[in-house]
Amino acid sequence: MEALQDWVANLEMATILAVAWQVLGAILIFVVGRWIARAIVKLMRNTMKKREVDELIISFLSNIVYVVLLLSVVLIAVGYLGVQVTPLIAVLGGAALAVGLALQSSLSNFASGLMIVGFRPFTRGHFVEAGGVSGTVQKVGIFQTELKTPDNRHVIVPNSAITSSPITNYSAYETRRVDLVIGVDYGDDLKLARSTIERVLSEHEKVLDDPEPTIMVLDLGDSSVDFAVRPWVNASDFWPVRGELLQLLKEELEKAGCSIPFPQRDVHLHQTDKAA
């Protein structure tokens, strides 16, 4: 401490002021540079929105550009302090290589994020099944994708888990087909059952006329004759219409005299006389 006090005492006021100015200048460069970086990113986001660029691409590119700009500002501020930036960049490069080798999974997530943004298998607001999770896409980040499940849970899925497994996008098309299997008893009139099913579908306001619904005998089951009932609906109406049709078909088929069988088994016991 005494040596430090002697060193400070021997410093000239001009030197102290010069050091203080450099420090303040570096701080000012960082503050102003960060503000400029945010302004550039905001301008970039607004420009891409006006050109109707996908929201996922806007968010992903904005994060990358901001990180690059902020790192550049830090290097400029450090250089203003008199530190040689070239050796520092070399050190940072070596450190980045070491960190990259240690965090291969993170680099894999980053590369997967680039693939998701580039190929766009889904976008914000789409309901997807990806990485073993089903939910509505909220955001695609540099390393992970955020989903909102139907029961209102927030799930974060690593990007590599998404690109390494099948992706099902339920919102990719405007319409979806509802696949139902309706069984009637073997003793029922199949023509009556078919006409009843056709009437229920035609009267439902959310069932589309084009494509035309498909109704056909699908299977002769153990306990019933099974009809494949496949109407088309708007994607947003899929689950409500599916539930409504199941209820309506059961009620109308029973009114028409048809029955909805359930699996049952007859057991016959045969008794034989044992020889004395």
Higher pLDDT, 185 or 81: 185
pLDDT higher than threshold 90 for residue 72:
no
Helix axes of 85-102 and 104-119: crossing angle, nearest 10 degrees: 90
Report the chain's mean pLDDT, rounded to a whole number: 82
- DSSP 8-state code for residue 244: H
Domain boundaries, the chain: 14-102, 121-169, 175-255
Q: Taking Cα atoms as reference points, which of 229, 226, 244 lies closest to residue 188?
A: 226
d(CA 141, CA 61): 10
If you compute the radius of gyration of the chain from its CA atoms, what whole number of angstroms results? 34
Class of domain 14-102: mainly alpha
117-169 pLDDT, tens digit per residue, is: 778 888 888 999 998 899 999 988 878 899 999 999 999 999 889 988 899 99
Assign 113 a pLDDT band (cuts: 50, 70, 90).
Answer: confident
Whether 175-255 and 14-102 are alike in CATH topology: the answer is no
- Tell me which H or E stretch contains 27: helix 13-50
Report the pLDDT averaged over residues 85-110: 60
175-255: CATH topology: Alpha-Beta Plaits (3.30.70)
pLDDT at 16: 60
CATH second-level architecture of 121-169? Roll (2.30)
2-56 pLDDT, tens digit per residue, is: 665 655 555 555 566 666 777 787 788 888 888 988 898 888 888 888 877 767 6
Q: Note whether 126 and 140 are within 8 A (CB).
A: no
Q: Note whether 155 and 109 are within 8 A (CB).
A: no
- CA 53 vs. chain centroid, Å, equals 18
Assign 61 a pLDDT band (cuts: 50, 70, 90).
Answer: confident
Q: Which residue has the tokens 């390393």?
A: 143
Helix axes of 55-80 and 13-50: crossing angle, nearest 10 degrees: 170
State phi, psi for 135 to the nearest 5 degrees: 180, 175
